[in-house]
Amino acid sequence: MSPTKPSLLTTLVLAMVVSGPLSGQSVATHPRVREAVAAYEKWLDGQRAFSRIPGVASALVVDQEVIWHGGSGVADQARRTPATAATLYSICSISKLFTSIAALQLRDQGKLRLDDPVARHLSWFRPRTEFSADGAITVEGLLTHAAGLQREFADTLWLEPNMAFPTMEEVMAGVADREVTYRPGQYFQYSNLGFTLAGAVVAAASGRSYHDYVRSEILTPLGMSDTFSEMPPAERGKRLATGYSGIDRDGNRHPMPFYQTRAMAPAAGFASSALDLARFASWQFRLLDRGGAEVLAAPTLREMQRVHFVDPGWETTWGLGFEVWRHEGKTFVGHGGSCPGYRTHLLLKPDEKIATIAMANTFDANAMALAQQAYQFLGPAVKEARADSSRTVAAADPSLDRYLGSYWSFGGEMEVIRWRGGLATMAVPSADPIKSITKYRKVGEHTFREVRADGALGERMVSDLGPDGRPTRARTNYLFARIPGR
């Protein structure tokens, strides 16, 4: 991990100080949660390194606690600035969640309706269409990507070196040349153009600028002081991570130019940090749990996180602004962001009050996979911790700590981690790290045996120690050499 990043224990303590539990003992201190978080931290660092991602930041949230936050790699390669959970990244399409919340606030105030034709608020919205008999494009169509609009305002927006995004005047003048692709409500077609228009609807219905409205009505009340509705030029070379291109054939990356999305800010312009998105997640859990109204009415947030559009192929489901998806039989909500130089993801499991956040400063990082794997580590551990109210689950014997660390063989790295009160090995890198974990039981001096799924003991792992009493290698099916310093 980054050289200035605090230790796991320090980070957990800081997390509790920052956002302490509402009542009872923190799940962050439970042995199962501590070992799951430590394993995730190791996996994340390895996954970043082997994927040659410059920097990654992450935060894990359980209800009102940020139970872990950290970073791996660098926010800027030239300056060697460590990536941390306070580092700012473009969050690109996660911006759409704030635009959607603004629209639903105005709906609840009676200033717009979801079934309003967009042209009721934007008189200049008259795109070319052959589907006029199928009804008008509505506000709800914009929020669910079911309006039939094309994805982008123009096909040159995201190309370096210029990345010249339109002003609102250019959008107003140019929308008449845009052709509606599908009948309204026929298909899911992800559309940055649609959310650019949604931001314009927010401004028109509120009688205020989009940026002023979102800052005063959403970001400031939620204490999200590190979230910006446009990329902040004052933070270049400071807290804002430098975005990098994907890897070319020679294995190199280059810095991407700084950009602002101008009129497209409601769709893709925001910047934030992992810690600020953690605050955003905790607000949602708090609102859903307590009810009432805080920035938004609780029933409205529930409405936003329900499926409002299903593509005819049943492959894509969307709420009001929120993506809704299934993974291994569970339902998640949230959103991802993908812009030149950045990939980010916010994952929420509202019924479990768990959120995971992953942010990277290159486009070819799979932030959604990082956030999903964070949940795979954390979710089961939190469930067990909550069930273990009397704290009967004990931590692993501290004498086993000497064996922890990173080991290397021809097939890659192996991490020796704490797992379910004992030791285990975990493959790094791994697309499915949980399935790669093999648990071991100590059966003799520096000798362990695999614990099979049925409880039977399997093959041996023997640790060879050096003169200082620290392991130098681990012998399993293969010989693994201990990586010094790790």
The tens digit of pLDDT for each residue in 331-358 reads 999 999 999 999 999 999 999 999 999 9
Q: Are residues 340 and 423 in the same domain?
A: no
Whole-number percent of the chain with pLDDT over 90: 87
Average pLDDT estimate for 267-272: 98
Q: Are residues 116 and 155 in the same domain?
A: yes
What are the pLDDT digits (tens) for 35-79? Answer: 999 999 999 999 999 999 999 999 999 999 999 999 999 999 999
Instruction: Find, among 197, 127, 126, the residue nearest to 166 by Cα.
Output: 197
CATH number at residue 468: 2.40.128
Give the distance between the most distant pair of CA atoms in the chain: 83
Q: Are residues 383 and 274 in the same domain?
A: yes
Domain count, the chain: 2
Domain boundary among 394, 428, 462: 394
Q: Are residues 307 and 448 in the same domain?
A: no
Domain boundary among 344, 378, 394: 394
Q: Are residues 446 and 381 in the same domain?
A: no
CATH number at residue 385: 3.40.710.10
Q: Are residues 449 and 363 in the same domain?
A: no
What are the pLDDT digits (tens) for 465-485? Answer: 999 999 999 999 889 999 998
- What band does 6 get if pLDDT is binned at 50, 70 and 90? very low
Q: Are residues 62 and 103 in the same domain?
A: yes
Q: Which tokens sit at 448?
A: 């362990």
Are 28 and 15 a contacting pair, CB within 8 Å?
yes
Greater confidence, 162 or 195? 195
Q: Are residues 377 and 448 in the same domain?
A: no
Domain boundary among 394, 413, 446: 394
Q: Which tokens sit at 99?
A: 């635009």
Cα 475 to Cα 460: distance, rounded to the nearest angstrom: 8
SS3 content of the chain, % helix, strand, coil (to 5): 35, 25, 40
Task: For the full predicted model, state whether its pTM sits above 0.85.
Answer: yes
Distance from the Cα of residue 332 to its chain's centroid: 12
Q: Are residues 119 and 216 in the same domain?
A: yes
C-beta atoms surrounding 17 within 10 Å? 8
Residue type, 223: G
Cα dihedral 110, 112, 114, 120 sign? positive
Domain that holds residue 274: 1-394
- What band does 24 get if pLDDT is binned at 50, 70 and 90? low
Q: Are residues 384 and 406 in the same domain?
A: no
Q: Are residues 277 and 403 in the same domain?
A: no
Q: Are residues 238 and 355 in the same domain?
A: yes
